[in-house]
Structure 1
């Protein structure tokens, strides 16, 4: 589920200290600085180390215990349920991005999994050919050419960038439970499901994160690089899988501009 972390984003901006760029005379160091695109590195590393301590002493032990009392099948069902909860938001995001095929797939998946799949606990939609497609508001903006901006590490949320962090609060208003009347039960459900989602995801990444921390000389830089690669791959997948459908009444020049092009081309 997508939740608002507006206070965290604001804190990141207000508290961030800027890294001092090397002199342009040191060409190699200056180019490396620009390539990293991490001018807020001092603050980012503070937040990273804070999260790392929290993960080491709280989240990871909880995830280890959780993995011992659950099976891979149970964790998969939890993931399916959480993904189904994001369905309405992803439907609107695909529509906003001009991706009608993916929007249709998302709609069918939400209807089928919410009914036959008992609220999304099961994923019968995949069995009938409607595999999950993913997007979010950050990827929607990226599809319109909005640059990612400087790298950000958000406390409690992890790797991000200015583009993705700027739309995190909006994601909160796209969750299905927002439309429900407020109640104590709904509040408990929201907090419980968010906590379960975090623990479930961490349990599924126990081996991956441990290997990175053990083998990498600079885990912070590794996580930064992996985040950017992952986001680029997600956008590339969307662009290659689905294309905008230009209406027939559009002028020929505009319809030509909407034709699919190789990822990364101008």
Structure 2
């Protein structure tokens, strides 16, 4: 059963898409993948405002938590996500990686004490990261316009729907004990934000226009992830690359 928080996030994302279309947010953008740049920059500003509160919490956590604790937290949630990664690898036809992911979950859940220790990596079982947006890309679904959402950040249209499916399948949001569920979700969010702190410095130092930098880096990285690290020939989109050899 969907939680109220997940429902609200889904509703916000859908409403924002409709609002952006109805209010004519399309602008003459310097990137054809970003036709709603005006709307996206507004949401980027909203997110920057939210981060004024979130970032200090993440910095406090990063400074106070010992490295083994942070590693254990990351490993624990990573082990949970490995289940979804395995499922997406199977959907993408990558059976070998899917089986490896299943092996990782079994090893880390048992020997790794609930996933706190990443024993599987020490055993040579490589960690993969796959989401439903990547699966849709593998199936040839076009990425569509780029959007920047509060809290969840940059997404293409395809990845926005992928994120909805990822969130629906997330076992953390399916925990009936509300205090436990909210605690786990909060810890995961803070740990994720803390892991991005080094990236903040890189962006601040390298970017004349922070919005453009994040958008272009996201789009390039997602294309690389969907194509398993291979770069498509310039001018060929993801869908075309599913229909022919273009690497």
TM-score (norm 1): 0.78
Asked if 2 retains the 8 angstrom alpha-carbon contact of 1:80 and 1:121, the reply is: yes
Q: Which residue of 2 aligns with 1:46?
A: 42
Q: Which residue of 1 aligns with 2:120?
A: 125
Task: Give the Å deviation of 1:79.
Answer: 1.2
Moved more, 136-145 or 191-200: 191-200
Higher relative contact order (CA 8 A, sep 6+): 1
Residues 202-246 of structure 1, C-alpha deviations (whole Å, 9 max, x = no match): 212212213312431100000001111221222232779xxxxxx
Asked if 1 retains the 8 angstrom alpha-carbon contact of 2:143 and 2:156, the reply is: yes
CA RMSD of aligned residues (A): 2.4
2:224 to 221, 233, 252: 233
Task: Give the 3 Å change call, closer, same or farther, for CA 177–53 of structure 1 in structure 2.
Answer: closer
Q: Which residue of 2 aligns with 1:193?
A: 184
1:20 to 22, 27, 48: 27
What is the alpha-carbon distance in structure 2 between the residues aligned to residue 179 and residue 221 of structure 1? 36
Task: Give the 3 Å change call, closer, same or farther, for CA 238–212 of structure 1 in structure 2.
Answer: closer
What is the alpha-carbon distance in structure 2 between the residues aligned to residue 225 and residue 80 of structure 1? 29
User: 1:129-140 counterparts in 2 under 5 A?
Assistant: 129-140=124-135
What is the alpha-carbon distance in structure 2 between the residues aligned to residue 179 and residue 13 of structure 1? 26
Task: Give the Å deviation of 1:95.
Answer: 1.3
Task: Give the Å deviation of 1:80.
Answer: 1.0
Task: Give the 3 Å change call, closer, same or farther, for CA 239–215 of structure 1 in structure 2.
Answer: closer
Asked if 1 retains the 8 angstrom alpha-carbon contact of 2:34 and 2:147, the reply is: yes
Give yes or no for the alignment of 1:109 onto 2:66.
no
Asked if 2 retains the 8 angstrom alpha-carbon contact of 1:105 and 1:133, the reply is: no
User: 1:1-266 counterparts in 2 under 5 A?
Assistant: 4=6, 5-16=9-20, 17-21=24-28, 33=30, 35-55=31-51, 57-177=52-172, 182=176, 185=177, 187-237=178-228, 264-265=246-247
Larger Rg: 1
TM-score (norm 2): 0.83
SS at match of 1:160: strand
Asked if 2 retains the 8 angstrom alpha-carbon contact of 1:149 and 1:163, the reply is: yes
In the alignment, structure 2 segments of 5+ residues that lack a partner are 232-243
Q: How many residues align?
A: 228
Runs of 4+ in 1 over 4 A off after TM superposition: 177-180
